[in-house]
Amino acid sequence: MVIAVVARVFFIPIAIAAAWLLMTVDLGPPETGVLDMWRRWDAHHFLTIAEYGYTAPQSDAHAAAFFPAFPLAVRLFIAVGISPVLGGLIVAALSSVVAGYFLYRLAASEFGPEAGRRALVYLALFPTAVFLIAPYSESLFLAGAIAAFYFARRSSWHLVGFPAAVAMGARAAGVFLLIGLVFEFLRQRDFSKLRVANASMSIAVGLLPLLAYGAFLARAMGDPFEFITHQQQGWGRTFVGPVASFLNTWNTWTSADYPTNWLLAWRVEIVAAAAGLAVVVWAALKREWGYAAFMGSMLVALMTSTWYYSIPRMLLSMFPIVLFFSEAAKTRPALHEWLIVVFAPIATLGVVVYTQGIWFY
Amino acid sequence: MTVGAGGVSSTIAPPAPASQPEGASWKSSVWARAAAVVVGSRVVFMLLAYAASYFLSADTEGTPERGPLDIWVHWDASRFLSIAEHGYDGSNSTPNGTAFFPLFPVTIRALTAAGFNAVAAGLLISAVGSWVALAYLYRLAESEEPGTGRSAILYLALWPTAVFLIAPYSESMFLAGAIAAFYYARRSSWHLVGIPAAVAMGSRFAGVFLLAGLAVEFLSQRDFTAKRVANAGLSLVIGLLPLLAYAAFLSQIRGDPFYFFVDQQQGWGRTLTDPLSAWTTSVDRLDLAASGNMMAAYRIEIAAALVGLGLVAWAAVRRQWGYATYMGLLLAALATSTEYMSIPRILLTCFPAVLLIAHSTHRNKTAHEVYLAATTVLMALGVVVYTRGGWFF
C-alpha cells in the first residue's frame, strides 16, 4: 500500500517536471495536461474501449487484441462521472495495491518479512514500472497472477480460481499463468482427491473469462479467436520460428530509415529477451517449475512472434523476477542498494519517455 | 564485489575508526568502497544518458547526433573546456571566462598536453575528484557517527544534482578538497587542513566560504594552544594562496585582481544586492513568458533556496557551527545575488547535508530506502535533462 503510493508520489511529479524541463524551445507550459500525458500508446486503446466499446468507430480497428477486464473496470469509474484517464489511473493504482499486498505476503511467507518489503521496492522501481502507473492492464493482471500463485504456494487451491480469472480477464498472458499454476500443482506432488478437485475447479474458473471473451467475440465479430487475428493485423504478430523472430529483430539495426529511438528500442528488446531467458533458467535451477513454466511459456510466445515486441514491458508481468532478487538480496545488503540504484534511473527514463509520448514498449 | 563486504549501513555497522588502528586494510577498503560507488554510478548514469539520447530522439533517423561522451558537454562544461584549450586570454576563449576558477581547467590542460581528449579528461578529473571526495566523506561520516559512512557516500553520489559530479564541472574537485579539509579539521589534525583547502579554493570561489567555515570550526573546538593556533593559521594561509595567485594573475592580464567579480556581473548579471530584492526578483520572474524549461527552473530555484535555509538551520540546531557557517555563507552569497541562479547545483557542494541526512536515516531502513530511491530518481531526471541540453542549473 505505502509502496504503491510512494511510487506514485515519485513518478507522477517527475513526469510533470520532465515535461517542463525538456521544453527548451517553446514558450509557456507544456500543451499536454498532467493527466493526458499518461494517455499514450495502448493506454489510448484501453480508454477508448472503456468509453465506446470494442466495435465503436472511435476504437482501434484491432481493439479485440486488448482483453476486457481492465477497460470494463475503467468503465465503472466512467459510469460515476470520472474521466477515462483518471479512471484508468485509479484502476491501475488500486490493482497495484492489491498486487503489492499479495507480493508482500508471498515473499514474506517464504523468505521472511524483510524479503516482502524488498520485493515491493523492486516491483515499484522495476525498469518498466511506468506501466503500473499508466492506464495499462499490467497492474490488474499482476493483482490476479500474484494472488493466484500466493494461494497456490500455500496449497489453498480452492482460492486460486478467482484471482486467476482476474488475470485471465486482464491479459491473454493469463493462459501462461494457468499453465504455470498447473505445473505448480504437479510440483507439489500431492494428488489427493480433494486437492485434484479443487485445483481443476480453480483452473476451470480461471479459464471462464477466456471462454466468455471468446463467446463475445464470436457474436460481435464472428470469430471466438478474433483477438489473435487482431494481434496479427494490428501489430504484425504472427507465429514464426524463434530464429526468424530473432533475426527480424536483430536486422533492424542496419535499416537506416528507422527513427533514432526505435534503433535502440529494438536492441533493448533483445537484451530483455536474454534477461527473460536467464530468469527462466534461474527458476529451473531453483526447481521452481511453476514459475519457470509461467515465465517460460510467456517468453516462448513472445520470441516466436514475427519480431520481439514489448518484451521489456512483459518482464514486468513476470513477478517471480522480483521474488528471486528479493531472496538473493537477503544476505547481500549491497546487492539490495545496487538494485535500487540501477532500477530507479531506468524506471525514471521510462516514465519520462512514455509520458513524452515517445515509444516505450 | 568489494562493496559487498560492508553492506547497508543501518544493519551492519562497519568498524568505527576510533576503535580501529589506522590499518592498511581498513584504509584500502574505504578507498575501494568509494571507487565502487564512483564506477557504479558512472556505469549506470552514463549508459542512461546515452540511452536517453536514443529514446528521446523520435524526430531524427539513424544514430544520435552526439556521441556518448559529447552529451556531457553543455553549459559551463563547454566554458571550462574552452578555458582549458585557449586559456583565459585567448581570442577564441569563452567570454567572461575569469568567473571560472583555474584549477579545474588547468588540470584538464595538463591531461590534454599528455594526449588526452579534452572531454574524456574532464570526465576523468570529475571521477577522480568524486573518488577522493567520497573516500573522505566515508571517513568523516564514520568518525562522527559509526555506521553512517556507506549511506553518506551513496547520498552524495546520488544527490539530486549529482549530474555535476559526473559532468566536466569543478564541483567534484572542489568537494574533494572541501571534505578532506573538514575531515582533518574535525579530527584536529590542523596541520593537514591547508593543502585540501587550497585545492578547494583553486577550484571554486566558494573556497572562501570553506575557509570561513574552517575558521569557525577551529573556534568552536575551543582549544587555543599555541601549536594548534599556529597550525590552523598556517593552513588557512595555505588555503588562501590559490586565491592570491589567481588575483595576481588577473591583475596582470586584466588590471584588476578581482576581475572574476566583473565577469560574474557581465556574464551572468550577478551583482550584490539585498536578500529581499533578490527574493522579489526571483519570485517576480515566475510570471515571465519563458520556455517551459526555464519556468520550471525558476520555481525549483526558489524551492532549493528554502531547502538550503533549512539545511543551515538544521546544522545550527545541532550546534555544528563550522558546517553552519560554511553553508550559511555559501547560501547568503547566492541569496544576495541579483536573482537566484544555480542554487540546486550549489546545494551539491553543501556536503554536510548528506551527513545530516545519513544521521537521520541511520537505523531506519525504510527511511534509507525511500530517500535512496527518491534521490536516485531525481538525479536520473537531472542527468536526462542536462545531457539533452536543457538548462539544469
Per-residue pLDDT tens for B269-304? Answer: 888 999 999 999 999 988 888 898 999 999 999 999
Distances (CA, A) of B354 to A33, A268, B149: 35, 35, 10
Q: In order along chain A (361 residues), what is the average pLDDT of each group of 10 residues?
A: 74 86 83 91 96 92 94 97 96 95 95 92 95 97 98 97 98 97 96 96 98 96 93 87 90 77 93 97 97 97 91 97 96 93 96 94 93
Instruction: Name the residue of chain B whose CA is nearest to A18's CA.
Output: B381
B383 in contact with A, Cβ within 8 Å: yes
For residue B14, the 8-state DSSP code is P
Contact A347 B372 (CB under 8 A): no
Whether B222 shows a pLDDT value over 80: the answer reads yes
Buried b (16+ CB within 10 A) or exposed e, A204-214: ebbbebbeebb
Interface test with A, best of B37, B61, B293, B377 (most A CBs within 10 A): B377
Give the Cα separation of B37 and B34 in Å (integer): 5
pLDDT of residue B235: 98
Distances (CA, A) of A75 to A31, A70, A87, A162: 27, 9, 8, 21
In this structure, is the dihedral angle defined by the CA atoms of residues A245, A249, A251 and A256, taken in order, positive or negative?
Answer: positive
Structural contact between residues B299 and B337, judged by C-beta atoms closer than 8 angstroms: no
Residue among A181, A124, A122, A178 nearest A152 (CA): A181
Whether B21 shows a pLDDT value over 70: the answer reads no
Quote the pTM value: 0.93
The Cα of B245 is separated from the nearest Cα of chain A by a number of Å equal to 39
B268 in contact with A, Cβ within 8 Å: no
Q: Which residues of B fall within a CB distance of 8 Å from A6? A: 370, 373
Whether B6 shows a pLDDT value over 70: the answer reads no
Whether B2 shows a pLDDT value over 80: the answer reads no
Q: What is the full DSSP assignment across B170-217?
A: SHHHHHHHHHHHHHHHHTT-GGGSHHHHHHHHHH-TTHHHHHHHHHHH
pLDDT of residue A255: 64
Q: Closest CB to B8: pick one of A263, A264, A337.
A: A337
Q: Closest CB to A26: pick one of B61, B292, B376.
A: B292
Question: Mean pLDDT, to the nearest integer, of B157-181?
Answer: 98
Percent of chain B with pLDDT over 90: 84
Structural contact between residues A210 and A175, judged by C-beta atoms closer than 8 angstroms: yes
pLDDT of residue A296: 97
B154 in contact with A, Cβ within 8 Å: yes
pLDDT of residue B26: 55
Question: Mean pLDDT, to the nearest integer, of B300-318?
Answer: 96
Q: Closest CB to A10: pick one of B40, B289, B377.
A: B377
* Better-scored residue on pLDDT, B227 or A9: B227
Alpha helices in A239-310 (DSSP H): 242-250, 260-285, 289-303
Contact A11 B377 (CB under 8 A): yes
B381 in contact with A, Cβ within 8 Å: yes
Q: Is B258 exposed, middle or buried (0-12, 13-18, 19+ CB in 10 A)?
A: middle
Whether B10 shows a pLDDT value over 60: the answer reads no
A 232-271 residues inside an 8 A Cβ radius of B: 256-261, 263-265, 268
Structural contact between residues A67 and A136, judged by C-beta atoms closer than 8 angstroms: no
